[in-house]
Amino acid sequence: MLFQSLRIRNVAIQPAHILAPMAGITDTVFRRFIKRLGGCGLIMTEFVSSEGMVRQNFRSQRYLYYTEEERPISAQIFGADPAHLAEAARQIEDLGFDLVDLNLGCPAKKVVKCGGSGLLRDLPLLERILRAIRAAVKIPFTIKFRSGWSDEEIVAVQVARMAEDCGVEALAVHPRTRLQGYSGRANREIIRQVKQAVRIPVVGNGDVLTPPDAAALQAQTGCDAVMIGRAAASNPWIFRQLAEFFQTGFYREPEDADRYDLIRTYYSMLVAEEVPGAIGKMKQFASWFTHGVRNGTELRRQVQTAREASEVLERVDAFFASLTPPQEATIAI
């Protein structure tokens, strides 16, 4: 069975399906929500600024809250100062995280100025950072990186080999350049080249929207695990679908009842846990969670015009109560 398991030293990831770190999305509520749906073997925090951690910034501390239910869990950090990144990694270890990950992939301008994919243009500095973090912690250390800054500056294989030499224990490769952002197609040939260049586990990331996409990723690259980001926001069942597909060759599409339960459960978690700005989160996720919902435009309108979180829940209940009984849909290849 594809992606059945992966071990990063003492951390067992079963199945080898990983939720990518996503700013503004992968908070503790969303992570637990994904875990409860099933099929996800490893989750990751939103990326956290090492500078904020060193200053004991409240937002950084909030990003690093997690529960035992979320294990195994990795915390992702970003920055460009080797000493501060090492200190941030020590704090991650002290907080009890299972792994620490360095972000070398974010293409946002404000992040590139102080880390993220910007470090792919300064490999000597990156090497100092990798060695500083590795020396600072005993827990497994991984990185997530893009193929390079531009098509003229592809450094994926060079970065992978350097990382392995510095003691990094697994690599997640998003094979787009920083200048690409999220446009165009991910170049899976780069993942294949990285996999052939190193002995440590390689995680493939990019353009996996369905279980057959994940199977094609593995066939084309030989990667050891699959990491999914944006697709999980609009289809949180994707990890469960992967497990089902790799076991049976089939996977079930969600019915109206599944979509209602998904939206109602996530929104109720936001309210029950008194998440700051819960209604803003509800409106943010409405644009994703309503994909595939019949007359989803109207549901989005209902959520976006609500003024209170309790009103959102009432409108969701009323909307789904008005739908006709759901129909089953099964997909196979």
| Residue 166 and residue 132 in contact, taking contact as beta carbons nearer than 8 Å | no
For the domain made up of 6-248, the CATH class stated in words is alpha beta
Question: Is 114 an annotated catalytic residue?
Answer: no
Q: Which of 106, 114, 166, 223 is catalytic?
A: 106
When pLDDT is cut at 50, 70 and 90, the band that residue 109 belongs to is confident
Please write the tens of the pLDDT for every residue from 18-71: 999 999 899 999 999 999 999 999 999 999 999 999 998 777 788 899 999 999
Is the pLDDT at 332 greater than 80, yes or no? no
Is the predicted pLDDT of residue 326 greater than 60, yes or no?
no
- Using DSSP's 3-state secondary structure scheme, residue 225 falls into strand
| pTM (predicted TM-score) | 0.92
For residues 314 and 305, the answer to whether their CB atoms sit within 8 Å is no
Cα–Cα distance between 302 and 307 in angstroms, integer? 10
Alpha-carbon distances, residue 256 vs 150, 191, 329 (angstroms):
43, 37, 11
Q: Does residue 330 surpass a pLDDT of 80?
A: no
* Token pair listed for 89: 């990694």
CB atoms within 10 A of CB 228: 25
Q: What span, in angstroms and rounded, lies between the C-alpha atoms of 317 and 264? A: 8
What whole-number percentage of the chain has pLDDT above 70? 97
Contact in structure between 232 and 239 (CB atoms under 8 Å): yes
Per cent of the chain over pLDDT 90 is: 80
Please state, rounded to an integer, the average pLDDT across all residues of the chain.
93
Q: Look at residue 325 in the predicted model and tell me its pLDDT.
A: 61
Given a cut of 50, is residue 309 above it in pLDDT? Answer: yes
